[in-house]
Structure 1
Amino acid sequence: MITPRFECSQTSESVIIQIYCPSVRAADVEIHVDDTLFTVHINPYFLRLNFSHSILEDEESMAKYDPSSGYLTVTLTKESKGEVFTDLDLLSKLLAPRPSQHAPLIEVVGQEDADPEDDLIARTNALSLEQEDILLAAENDWQIPQEVPTADPPITTTITAKYGFLNLHWGYFKHVSHTENEVNELGSDAETCTVQERRRRRWQHENEKWDEEHYMADFADDEYIRELIYWKNPRVLDSAPFQFTEEENLALLNLPRKEYLTDAHQITSLYLTLISILFSYTYDARTTQGDSTPESAWTICSLVPAFSALDPPPYTASTSASSTPSPSDLAACLSQSYRRCLCFPLYRSFLLAEACQADVAALFSLGKRAIVRCLLETKYILEHHEVYYVYSKIWLEDFCVWVQASASDDTLRGIGAALKGLRVAKSAIDWDLEELEAATQDVQARQADSDDESDEDEVARQL
């Protein structure tokens, strides 16, 4: 039996248990309530919880299964309304069996002379804990051992790891060592790296590429960077009635005809990945002022963690059943884009990153058609690169299809509004940006004072 992921909450009258059990039949759910004990079985999942106070399964109780999110929500009535159930967040305590009411199975009183029954007694005493639990379960006590479920990846029977849009792709990096793919941060292990290893390597590579002096130099001498910040992206300002061009319509017709089966977690991941893609697109647009260069493909791919390290969001351990990203998901996703634009490309400015975030918020607020247009432009840039076209194949092609067919304009505009009001803290980048900026300003102030004194000395000498 598999112990599913779960979480508990309460109201003044009820206890609510949310259980993640995807791809099951709701008709097969078996729920049992006995005083403080709650058990649910739905093949292959089994969960037994022991609460601090008594619960009831009455007319007000209910169970609802949402196949799109994979969550079973069970609402049970408190026997004493208004009673506070303690330690609902201590999952190990909830999973612990209640004290056994059984007498010891075998009691050894003494042992004097060897007896034919002694061997049987010794072997019985040597029963493992698992065997004893099976005996208890046979008496309908259901004290099957359980552990708090972890986020460990499922056991796989192959060393090949999938990646790309909804993990639908593999095999694109088998010969990556023979190509000049400067974006790939996994090297020849791209086809076998686990999700955890991809993220670890990406984080390590970002820390290695971080250059304090480069950041401080751009912070001190930001005249040209401010020009980039003041530049207005026509894709964001376009207020005319939307209409795809003939070239864009042809590109849309050449897209594959696909349908995608997604759960809430995957939809959240797609919206967040879309944010990081558009962030890289707007960064390249600003730094080239809308006129892409031969370096644009490298810039775009370097700024997207899902491209360079095959590491898409979310970057938080969220258990929400909603398909809309939470504020913490949005902040974590943006902070990763900020990190990358501060350690890889030529212009490394926090203010420039904030300008890109504002562009992304505006694009989301314009809806799916404006976003598809930007995706098509990004796809065109990558497809015409002899190495980085691969990221168009495993990400952008599917995104162009999905955004048209499945993305919700209401959700996109809601994300746009959230991004507009969200501020990424410099402390979230983990590189002491505020201290570096303060040190740079201090040096500039001392240099200005020194220049003033030099000017005064020169005037005095002339007099």
Structure 2
Amino acid sequence: MLTPKFKVLQDDKHLSVHIFAPYARISDAEINIDGESFTFYSSPYYLRLTFSGRLVDSELEKHTAKFDAAVGAFIIVCEKETPGQHFANLDMLTTLLAPHGATGVNKPMIEVVGDEKDGELLDEQDEDFDWMYEQTLPEENIVTGGHKYGFANNTTGVFTALQNELKGVVDVSDPDNKSASQRREERITHELRVFDEDHYLADYFEVDTAQQCVEFIPEFYSITSDEVELSDQDKEDMMKLPRKEHLLDKGAQSIVYLGLVDILYSWCYNHRVTLGENCVESAWNVAKLSSTLSWFDSFTHLKDVAVGSVRRSVTFPLIRNWLLSQEVLKDTAQILSLGRKKVLQCLLEIQRFFNSSEPRYLLNQLYITDYCVWIQRIKDNKLISLADSLKKLKISKDDICLDLEDLEAAAHLVLEEEEENALAHGENINNIVTDFAGLTVIENGAALGANDNEDGLKKGAAINPREGLAQLSDSDSSSSESDSEDDSDEDSDSSDSSDDSSDDDSDRDGSSSDSSELDSDDDTLSESDEE
């Protein structure tokens, strides 16, 4: 038989059950209503629901049923036995599917004893928790049960047979032979050892990426608990959850609640750094940041949860920023304040992360699936109380024992020294430029001072030295020509004299030629005389 998809709506007098069974035999449909129990059968579908209130029996034929062919759904409208009564948990599909009296893992099938009100147990869950009070872990019987982990510490021996899967799932080694206190001590030691100061400082000063994540406003800040809606995918995943109920004592409940905060913190971090759009690293982000999932840790104090989560958020992920970690704490409190439906939505998303990221599906079997079942039966006021305590909690940089304040102060000193050195280097360059401005330029054997022609220097500063000298020469020539007409005449005279000198040179060349000829004649005459 197949369990069909369904949803349940209500008003003051009626309860409406919508059953999506597109391949059902309509003529064979059978409906049976008996007090709190509702049963539907139409081959190949079978559905049994248990409500928190009583309905009018089907024998009285006060219910109506029809088949909507457009959507392929049966719509059955039932009358409430007590008009105006509110039926709780209609969104918690797994709770509706669970038969009355179902129990948790590794326990015999027994009926849950206790008064009920609106379908919620009035037992030890109604006791108030002091989330700031240091609890004690339940003692482990290592002779008969071994060291335990998993949801409510009810599992052991898993990794004895799955050693090959261990490294791909968790950071703790050989968890079956280590107690909760040993696992915690190793976790803290590991976090302090692998903390990367350079990576942290890089994200501390290069704030562009981190700032974008810090300024991001998740959508769950703009809704109320009544406005939380489970998607069709969420409802489909809820149908696949086991039909059971967990019976927990007070110590186990405290561990489960605090572990929930730790897991939700990792979800909120991933949601913020991906800006609400999950990526292929989302499963790694959630598994790595959660001490519960990566080290099988069991918390006994809310501050320990917050300290561990923040320390891991500045040690392992890609973006390691203190302000970002603080914002994620606020996000976690906001999720808790929205109640179990929003928390369930987050847990179902984590379950999908791990199912698509082998071998992390083992974390679903150890923790997430049980959390998805358990969260549907708890009361919202417990989550709201936990959220209020988390909002009041203040975590300082000293609490996480990484010396972040000293590290940041030392980095600032180094930057200040570098800035001072850069400033001094800039002053030296300015002095060199000033010295160059005072140099004397030699042109054609004449000295030209820096102050003789400021315009010339300014022009020459933008070009090469030879072009500058040429400009200075042209500038001096033009200025000297405009001084006086006498200077102009003198220049023309000097020009004439240069012409004359050139003529004289040519005459000298001529005379030189003549003299050589005369010498030649003289030699001839002397020879004749000798004869």
Q: TM-score range by the shorter chain?
A: 0.5 to 0.7
Question: What is the RMSD of the two structures over their aligned residues, measured on CA atoms?
Answer: 2.5
Task: Report if the CA contact (8 A) 1:185-1:205 is conserved.
Answer: no
User: Are 2:359 and 1:387 equivalent residues in the alignment?
Assistant: yes
Whole-angstrom CA distance in 2 between matches of 1:182 and 1:438: 38
Where does the alignment leave 5 or more consecutive residues of structure 2 unmatched?
1-121, 128-135, 435-531
Alpha carbons 2:138, 2:251 under 8 Å: kept: no
SS at match of 1:257: coil
d(CA) in 1 for partners of 2:123 and 2:362? Answer: 34
**1:393 Cα deviation after fit:** 1.3
Residue of 184, 193, 205 corresponding to 2:178: 193
> Aligned in 2, Cα 1:272/1:427: closer, same or farther, shift over 3 Å?
same
Contact 1:215 1:349 (C-alpha < 8 Å) held by counterparts: yes
Match status 1:349 vs 2:287: no
Residue deviations 1:334-373 (CA, integer Å, cap 9, x gap): 0011111122112222111101001101111111111111
Q: Which of residues 281, 285, 298 in structure 1 aligns to 2:284?
A: 298
CA distance in 2, matches of 1:151, 1:352: 31
Q: Deviations over 1:53-98 (max 9, x none)?
A: xxxxxxxxxxxxx9949x9xxxxxxxxxxxxxxxxxxxxxxxxxxx
- In structure 2, relative to structure 1, the CA distance for the partners of 1:450 and 1:176 (3 Å cut) is farther
Q: What percent identity do the matched residue pairs reach?
A: 29
**Cα distance in 2 between the residues matched to 1:178 and 1:223:** 40
**1:377 partner amino acid:** E
1:54-65, aligned counterparts within 5 Å? Answer: none
Partner of 1:409: 380
Change (3 A) 1:175 1:298: farther
Question: 1:280 aligns to what SS in structure 2?
Answer: helix
Map of 1:305-316 to 2, 5 A cutoff? 305-314=291-300
Instruction: Give the SS at the match of 2:319.
Output: coil
- Counterparts of 1:398 and 1:152 in 2: how far apart (Å)? 19
How far apart are residue 211 of structure 1 and its match? 1.9
Structure 1 distance, partners of 2:370, 2:314, is: 28
Q: 1:417 to 1:221 in 2, by over 3 A?
A: same
Q: How many residues align?
A: 303
Normalising to structure 2: TM-score of the pair? 0.53
State how far apart, in whole Å, the 2-side matches of 1:215 and 1:163 are: 32
Identify the match of residue 365 of structure 1 among 337, 341, 354: 337
Q: What is the distance in 1 between the residues matched to 2:368 and 2:259?
A: 11
Give me the whole-angstrom Cα distance separating, in 2, the residues matched to 1:167 and 1:152: 9
- Offset, 1:278: 0.8
Shift of 1:180: 6.9
How far, CA to CA, are the matches of 2:137 and 2:358 in structure 1?
38
Amino acid at match of 1:351: L
- CA 1:398–1:154 in 2, change beyond 3 Å: closer, same or farther? closer
CA contact (8 A) 2:196 2:315 kept: yes
Task: Work out the CA distance in 1 between the residues paired with 2:297 and 2:283.
Answer: 18
| Aligned match of 1:167 | 153
Q: 1:371–1:180: structure 2 CA closer, same or farther, 3 Å change rule?
A: same
Who is 1:340 aligned against?
312
Q: Which residue of 2 aligns with 1:442?
A: 413
- Aligned residue for 1:179, secondary structure, equals helix
Alpha-carbon distance in structure 1 between the residues aligned to 2:140 and 2:169? 28
Work out which of the residue numbers 186, 201, 211 in structure 2 matches 1:226.
211
Cα separation, 2, equivalents of 1:68 and 1:246: 34
Tell me by how many angstroms 1:174 deviates: 2.6
Instruction: Give the counterpart letter for 2:387 in structure 1.
Output: G
Report the Cα offset of residue 196 of structure 1: 2.1
Residue 183 of structure 1, CA deviation: 4.5
Contact 1:220 1:440 in 2 (8 A): no
- Alignment partner of 2:269 out of 283, 288, 293: 283
**Alpha-carbon distance, 1:164 to partner:** 0.6
**CA 1:330/1:180 → structure 2, altered by over 3 Å: closer, same or farther?**
closer
- Correspondence for 1:423: 394
1:451 paired residue number: 422
Contact 1:382 1:389 in 2 (8 A): yes
Larger Rg: 2
Aligned to 2:22: none
Looking at structure 2, the residues matched to 312 and 238 of structure 1 have their Cα atoms a distance apart, in angstroms, of 32
Over 3 Å counting, the alpha-carbon distance change for 1:229 and 1:292 in structure 2 is same
**1:243 aligned onto 2:229:** yes
C-alpha distance in 1 between matches for 2:340 and 2:325: 23
Matched, 1:212 2:212: no
TM-score normalized with structure 1 length: 0.61
Q: Please give the secondary structure, in 1, of the residue aligned with 2:317.
A: coil
Partners of 2:238 and 2:433 lie apart in 1 by 73
Q: How does 1:252-271 map to 2 (within 5 A)?
A: 252-271=238-257
Q: Is the 8 A contact 1:185 1:201 kept in 2?
A: no
User: How far apart, in 1, do the equivalents of 2:217 and 2:137 lie?
Assistant: 43
Match for 2:372: what amino acid?
C
Instruction: Determine helix, strand or coil for the equivalent of 2:398.
Output: helix
Match for residue 17 of structure 1? none
Alpha-carbon distance between aligned partners in 1 of 2:265 and 2:423, rounded to the nearest angstrom: 42
Per the TM alignment, residue 418 of structure 1 is displaced from its structure 2 partner at its CA by 2.3
Report 1:323-334 matches (<5 A): 329-334=301-306
Q: Which amino acid is the alignment partner of residue 201 of structure 2?
A: M
Moved more, 248-257 or 156-165: 156-165
The runs of 5 or more residues in structure 1 that have no matched partner are: 1-65, 72-149, 315-328
**Distance in 2 separating the partners of 1:461 and 1:280:** 57
Q: Could you say if the C-alpha distance between residues 208 and 154 of structure 1 is closer, same or farther in structure 2, counting changes exceeding 3 Å?
A: same
Letter in 2 for 1:272: L
Instruction: State the shift of 1:175 in Å.
Output: 4.2
Distance 2:377 2:138 in 1: 33
Preserved CA contact (<8 Å) 2:137 2:251: no
1:214–1:348 CA contact under 8 A, matched in 2: yes
